[in-house]
Structure 1
């Protein structure tokens, strides 16, 4: 366990190293190898890839969430292009009658440039989503951005109830945040938290964090608030199923594409609501690093895919 934690922490640090990222992206030897590994966790590089796999999963009985990968965009022009891609994605879903949640990082559409740009972009996206019968889910980023993200969310959800927000169970502040968010209509997506944070503001991966996670789910259910249990942890699901939470129409399970498809299928086959979170785009490097860091044994799967060739996860659902 200690070695796995050290490996995960090291990989998270590497994920944020732009020099390493650039080296891999420009390497004619490494880039194709990483592309083979990422196919298991990312649907492809275009919205057509995401929509196609999403449509297949919907026909198998799953709910879906779609995201155009990207975060920490540093120029206004790039932010505008990202916003336009999300608009095109939502219009295509609307035209094809595909019911989906659209997930995004606010730093992908302007937060790292100017919070007002992110607010204005999110407002526009919420309007387009509503007109196409879709919902939006704001992802949570590093704790340094939490106040800004929640502030923008509260402003937008006051006008568009189809917007939700993600909270990290690992942060001590989340207990206060979630009680305040019950005053707003948007769905809440609960994750344990994938970011390295200072030890004085968060709970490390442990039984204590599992207890906090269940406590937060309890609060959502008692408040009759819509919540996504975004976890791949069987211990968590065992407890929420025993409490009857997943039979509640306001509660759903949510898992990332390619991570524990066996568990997703089992829950779905048991008649429970399961959402699969699908991503697409070329900025998959950070995403892949986080998927391996969250569950270190995935490194063996990644290496196998590099050797044996590309393999998507659709057939596993």
Structure 2
């Protein structure tokens, strides 16, 4: 990150929340479930799929976790009632993973069971490295009983290719992303091209072993190389989809859609939007300049 962008990012992080929301509203559907429904309907009308996420993470009490579970159940019910083409994404620490792993598992069972009754699917997001093993173990336990659950893996972690080689044997359904959390150099690649190369190595391994992959990226280089790999390996369209975040590179989203590939957009909403938005800002600091211009009405 260049010094100017870094300064602006740090400035935006100390702004009051209403000011930061100027940035956040580009990346979230809104604070209410009806905002998420509205956005998903708009996407579906364009032939684009969605995954809905109630924002929130790292809860500290079981009550908060139960509340989050109930919100997830309501999202699944709402998807069903509105006939939306969307599944559900969730963060395990929101469901109590940092409090009690068995408690979190039981929470997840209830959610995945409900999704199964609606013929829907649940994606377990991957968080920062202290939770990698616990998240994988949670997924493995759920996968023993349910076929409507998948996991996210992150290409910037050095361990991921080895993890994938093991998880592939379970017939795992993946979302493959670069990763956004700030991790130590000992466990993560810091070189941009190295992360890209690892991403493509992991993707090839997933395809080779016949797994379903959500190719989650906004990087034109990775999209183009994924296109080439799909053609070279003759991967059928029912074995992959592309995935992107709401509010990011809609022109690339529309091109993938126009090329006839399935694309799914991650649609986050909820009152706990702040941490998510700050991570988006750190990932894409150029946006910070536009926030600053908006705040001070620069010409």
Q: What TM-score does the superposition give when structure 2 sets the normalisation length?
A: 0.92
CA contact 1:71–1:107 (8 Å) conserved in 2:
yes
Aligned: 1:193 with 2:179:
yes
Question: For the residues of structure 2 that align with 1:192 and 1:230, how far apart are their CA atoms?
Answer: 8
Deviates more, 1:160-169 or 1:246-255: 246-255
Question: For the residues of structure 1 that align with 2:158 and 2:133, how far apart are their CA atoms?
Answer: 14
Aligned: 1:47 with 2:47:
no
Shift of 1:84: 0.2
Give CA-to-partner distance per residue, 1:159-194, whole Å, 9 cap, x none: 111100001111111111001111223411111111
Shift of 1:209: 1.1
CA contact 2:62–2:99 (8 Å) conserved in 1:
yes
Deviates more, 1:115-124 or 1:299-308: 299-308
Equivalent runs, 1:153-168 vs 2, <5 Å: 153-168=139-154
Aligned: 1:142 with 2:142:
no
CA contact 1:141–1:195 (8 Å) conserved in 2:
yes
Choose the corresponding residue for 2:72, options 75, 83, 86. 86
Partner of 2:83: 97
Q: How many residues align?
A: 293
Shift of 1:307: 6.1
CA contact 1:37–1:305 (8 Å) conserved in 2:
no
Partner of 1:312: none
CA contact 1:99–1:133 (8 Å) conserved in 2:
no
Partner of 1:291: 280
Distance change in 2, residues 1:108/1:189 (3 Å): same
Partner of 1:311: none
Aligned: 1:113 with 2:93:
no
**Aligned-CA RMSD value:** 2.1
Shift of 1:302: 3.1
SS in 1 for 2:132: helix
SS in 2 for 1:137: strand
Choose the corresponding residue for 2:165, options 157, 166, 179. 179
Give CA-to-partner distance per residue, 1:233-276, whole Å, 9 cap, x none: 00101111122368632111110000111110111111111111
Question: For the residues of structure 2 that align with 1:147 and 1:85, how far apart are their CA atoms?
Answer: 26
Distance change in 2, residues 1:302/1:262 (3 Å): farther
Question: For the residues of structure 2 that align with 1:213 and 1:306, how far apart are their CA atoms?
Answer: 37
Give CA-to-partner distance per residue, 1:134-160, whole Å, 9 cap, x none: 101011111111110100110011111
CA contact 1:194–1:294 (8 Å) conserved in 2:
yes
Partner of 2:113: 127
Equivalent runs, 1:244-259 vs 2, <5 Å: 244=230, 248-259=237-248
Partner of 1:281: 270
CA contact 1:169–1:209 (8 Å) conserved in 2:
yes
CA contact 2:5–2:288 (8 Å) conserved in 1:
no
SS in 2 for 1:255: strand
Distance change in 2, residues 1:233/1:94 (3 Å): same
Give CA-to-partner distance per residue, 1:77-101, whole Å, 9 cap, x none: 0000000000011011111211212
Question: For the residues of structure 1 that align with 2:151 and 2:166, how far apart are their CA atoms?
Answer: 13
Question: For the residues of structure 1 that align with 2:25 and 2:191, how far apart are their CA atoms?
Answer: 28
Choose the corresponding residue for 2:24, options 22, 38, 46. 38
Deviates more, 1:179-188 or 1:77-86: 179-188
Shift of 1:2: 5.0
Shift of 1:3: 3.9
SS in 1 for 2:180: coil
Structure 1: any 5+ residue segments left out of the alignment?
25-29, 309-317
Structure 2: any 5+ residue segments left out of the alignment?
none
Shift of 1:281: 0.4
